Structure 1
Amino acid sequence: MLNEEKILAILRLQKCKAVGDILAKKLIVHVGDVVQIFREKTSHLSKINGIGKHVLKHLFTKENITLAQQELRYIQDNAISYSYFLEDKYPQNLQHCVDSPILLFEDGAIDFSNKKIISIVGTRNMSSYGRDFCTKLITDLAPHNPIIVSGFAYGVDICAHKVAVQNNLQTIAVLAHGFEQIYPKVHKKYMQQVNENGGFLTEFWHNEMPLRENFLKRNRIVAGISNATIIIESAEKGGSLVTADIANSYDKDVFAVPGRTTDLYSKGCNNLIKNNSAFLLNSAKEIVNMLNWDLKATPKIIQKQLFLDLNENEQKIHDFLHDKGKQILDVISLECNIPMYKLASILLQMELKGVSKPLPGKMFELI
């Protein structure tokens, strides 16, 4: 649990209109701690790339302090759970996404110890074909006990949540608003079931409304939190296609269910497949095979490398990656206390020594 000073600083940073998640992480990495950001001289902060007068003006507004204090009171009074992007309990898949929220709020009984996580999204105007496919897909995947993630919206989303509950699977609904709202209101009747079989996640403060732009922000969480994203049905344009694009940008597997060329709500899926933006999905077996769920885990034999010629910073990074596994560049910089401008050259030297290797999405892991 973060202390009160730290959570207040995170909330202030999160509320700053001129600072998105990428810039927020850059600030934290550069300064070394989120609390220190608001103690730092503006002359020092202004030297950080991307921090200009406009950002500094919004960063230190008194209004944000008041709003952060109010939100903290709500969190404390309602025992709201939350996770900071540098904490171990933050969803690991999402932690590797450069634009993931710096702070997530959760409600329910979410357990991320299960690493088999899939997102299922699609049109609000679900056909009987889509409903039948979604039902059979999740039912056939049930023996593998995956977590089913979706957006709690009409159509494909709520179908995925309901079928997951019916199969006693954990399901996570990612919201585009705060916990004091519910959208659509007709889905309020499903809240208890979802809470008892997983729960709700949101980056939005308790009183934030389901604005149009919030749904687009929500989609990156849906795409980033899972191992793969499945599009059941979609028209030529729609939010689920945005989710597919985001998932592809994160180097996640994307699957789409094909349909007849004459069906309006199969055109989006057919185009994803035609453009090689998604794997064609006919059955649960393809998910199981592509994600290696059918393979029994074998003990990983770790052979200690002797006589590695590493300097102090290289050894620090080596030990961190050994303990934590693959990590994003920003997190390595922050946790190892190595400035970003030095880190790139150090990682290159480690790569040349055969110690580490770069991965898509500015991530690195030991060889």
Structure 2
Amino acid sequence: MDKFPIHIAFNFVFLRKKITGIRVHAIELFRALEEQKETKYIFHVITTKEGADILNEHGIRANGGIKVHIIASSFEKETDRLKLQLFSLNNTLKQNRIALLHCFDYLTPLQRPAYAKIIATIHDLIWLENPNTYSLPKRLFKKVFFSHSIRKADALIAVSKTSKESLIQHYGHGYDQKTTVIPNGLRNTFLTIKKQGNPERLIKGEYIIAVGRYLPHKNYERLIKAYAHCNTKAQLVIAGSDMDKSVDLQRLAQELGLNDKLLLLKNPTDAELISLISHASLFVMPSLTEGFGLPLLEAMSLSTPVLCSDIPVLKEVCENAALYFNPLSIEDMAAKITYALNSSPILQKLIENGHERVQAFSWENSAKQVMNLYDDLLLNY
């Protein structure tokens, strides 16, 4: 087998139109890796037809240094995606002499060529730390295949120190040396639009915003209850995917008499999200647990002051660029929101600290660390 070129594959089979943290991580990291790719490497993208269309929208397509392999048209059910990721990659890996497969989440194929290395990515262990986020079948699936994947992977990437510490806490110190912390960065979309000036306002008047999928660990119920205790004219806006399933939040708002003050926005586009965050008086993340917290970087970059839960991972990301509250205390959350809204010096200091803190995160730096990991794994290839 010739030493060069070395073929590296990327598992994009999971890709769908719904914007998630893993999707952002995968696309942004790959684009940064593509810019830094050495001539000795050829990149292979393994995805579905739907995934290829999404990647094409982001400027990722076949060229001299990138080959795209479509192994299915799309998948209708989550179980179909899992089957593709577990059982349908091996032939592509063998046929293209893939030396290294980079998986953007924890799930790795059950079979691979003996010579192929695998990197898996640890975003969080929410299914262990906040189990009511997932159904029992999903928790059982993750329990089985997470253990298999981290054991079989040659290297693991954790997106935060907190995620790595959680991994070691639950699975043992044997994963310390195997795991490299490589943080997320700020989306290029946000950097580009920020340079274009202030985006058009979508909501009239003052408002507070929270961004993220409708999931139990996002802690939106307590946020709404805390907001009900705040004497403010500002609306509360919660924007993210699956908001069409948020019947419980709508019912809670009705019970608290907040129907005209709570706005739930489903699946905002990047441009809409940038406008929503940049014009908000406060950005609030009340999560009980997270793997990283990408929207925090987005809020900091758009000069929106951040309030968030006093949990290790968010303190790791924000440091002194956020005002913290106890996510289990409705009273503390309400007090901190009220305090921030009525203290211009505090808000200005948070904005200034946010501008400084966000500079610590870039996909370019993350890609350099990943490239070093590739070089280490393929040293004797």
TM normalised by structure 2 equals 0.30
TM normalised by structure 1 equals 0.31
